[in-house]
Amino acid sequence: MDTSFHHFSDLFAQLGLPSEEADIRAFIAKHSPLSQDIDLWEAPFWTPAQATLLRDEFIEDADWVETVDQLNLALRAPA
C-alpha cells in the first residue's frame, strides 16, 4: 500500500468535484446523512466513474483509502 497522504480537498478534485472548503461543506451538507445500509460508492449522487474510483480505492486498500474513509464518515454524520 502506498502511504502517501492526500488532503480531503484533493479527493474532491480527484472526483472532479469543486474542492474549496465551502464547496466541500456544501456537498456534505447536501448529501448527509448517508444511510448505513449502503456502501459509500453505491450512493445515488455519484457518477459511475466516481463510484468506481471510491469502490476500487476502498476495496484495494489503495493510495486514497484513508481519505475515502474520511469522506465516508463525513457523509454518515447527521447534516
Residue range 13-64, pLDDT digits in tens? 999 999 999 999 999 999 999 999 999 999 999 999 999 999 998 888 888 8
How is the chain split into domains, by residue range? 36-79
Neighbours of 71 (CB within 10 A): 21
The stretches of the chain forming alpha helices (DSSP H) are 8-14, 21-31, 48-59, 65-76
* Cell reading at 27: 456537498
pTM confidence score: 0.87
